C-alpha cells in the first residue's frame, strides 16, 4: 500500500464453513452445484417461519420432533429457521463437540410436507452432530444432493436466532461468492414486522 488513490487487499481463508455460512450441493458432491451457480432469486425468501425445538445436548433432531409442531408450520414455507437455544453455548466446547444435528429422514419429510421449502437455517454449528458423524454425512447428502433429481434444500449453519420473534416478513441471504465455492459465509437480512 503506497497511498495511491486506490489500494487492494488479499483475503485468505482457511475454511469457508466457519461462522454463519451456507452449504451448497458442491459441499458433498463433486458434481453438485456451486454456490455461485444458483440463481440470485434462490436467496430471497418471502415465506419464512421460525420454530422452537429446545435442546441442551447433542441429540439428533428427527421427524418426531417436527410431528409435535408440524401443524403450526405454513405448508408454503420457503425458509425454515430452527431455534434450539444452542447458541447459548457458543463460547463453550459443548457448542462444537456436543451439538445437535438434523436427521437425514427430515430431508424427504420436508420435501413432501413443504414443497416450496428451499432452505433451512439453525442456531447450532452444523447439520452434522459431532455425536452422530456418519449420520451427518448422510444428512448433508439427503438435504443437498438428493436422488431422483429432487430439489436440494440449502443449509444455513451457525445462525444467531436468540432474539428473533416469529414476525419475519421476508429474508435475503447474501452469500460471499467464492470461486468453486461449496458454500461460504453469509449475511442474513430480515424484514421484521413491527
80 vs 70, which has greater pLDDT?
80
The share of the chain scoring above pLDDT 70, in percent, equals 83
Question: What's the order of all strands across the beta sheet hosting 44-45?
Answer: 44-45, 168-175, 183-192, 21-23, 154-157, 119-122, 79-83, 48-52
Contact 17, 23 (CB under 8 A): yes
Supply 84's cell numbers: 434450539
Indicate the fold that domain 21-192 takes in CATH: Glucose Oxidase; domain 1 (3.50.30)
CA distance 67 to 56: 20
Supply 46's cell numbers: 418471502
Range of lowest pLDDT (3-7, 45-49, 98-102, 144-148): 3-7
- The predicted-structure confidence for 20-49, as pLDDT tens digits, reads as follows 888 877 665 666 677 788 889 999 999 999
Helix (H, G, I), strand (E, B) or coil at 22: strand
**Residue 70: per-residue pLDDT:** 65
- The predicted-structure confidence for 113-160, as pLDDT tens digits, reads as follows 999 999 999 999 888 888 888 888 899 889 988 888 888 999 999 999
Mean pLDDT score of the chain, rounded to an integer?
A: 86
Give per-residue burial for 81-117: e unless 16+ CB within 10 Å, then b.
Answer: bbbbebbebeeeebbeebbbbbbbbbbbbbbeebeeb
**Residue 181: per-residue pLDDT:** 65
Residue 17 has pLDDT above 60, yes or no: no
Amino acid at each position: 500500500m503506497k497511498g495511491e488513490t486506490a489500494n487492494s487487499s488479499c483475503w485468505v481463508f482457511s475454511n469457508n464453513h466457519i461462522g454463519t455460512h451456507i452449504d451448497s450441493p458442491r459441499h458433498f458432491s463433486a458434481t453438485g452445484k456451486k454456490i455461485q451457480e444458483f440463481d440470485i432469486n434462490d436467496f430471497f425468501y418471502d415465506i419464512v417461519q421460525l420454530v422452537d425445538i429446545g435442546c441442551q445436548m447433542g441429540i439428533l433432531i428427527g421427524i418426531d420432533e417436527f410431528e409435535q409442531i408440524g401443524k403450526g408450520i405454513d405448508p408454503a414455507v420457503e425458509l425454515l429457521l430452527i431455534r434450539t437455544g444452542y447458541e447459548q453455548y457458543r463460547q463453550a466446547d459443548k457448542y462444537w463437540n456436543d451439538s445437535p444435528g438434523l436427521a437425514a429422514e427430515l430431508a424427504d419429510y420436508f420435501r413432501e410436507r413443504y414443497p416450496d421449502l428451499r432452505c433451512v437455517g439453525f442456531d447450532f454449528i452444523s447439520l452434522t452432530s459431532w455425536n452422530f458423524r456418519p449420520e451427518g454425512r448422510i444428512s448433508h447428502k439427503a438435504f443437498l444432493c438428493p436422488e431422483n433429481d429432487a430439489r436440494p434444500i440449502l443449509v444455513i449453519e451457525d445462525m444467531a436466532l436468540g432474539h428473533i420473534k416469529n414476525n419475519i416478513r421476508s429474508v435475503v441471504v447474501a452469500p460471499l461468492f467464492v470461486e468453486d465455492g461449496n458454500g461460504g459465509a453469509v449475511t442474513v437480512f430480515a424484514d421484521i414486522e413491527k
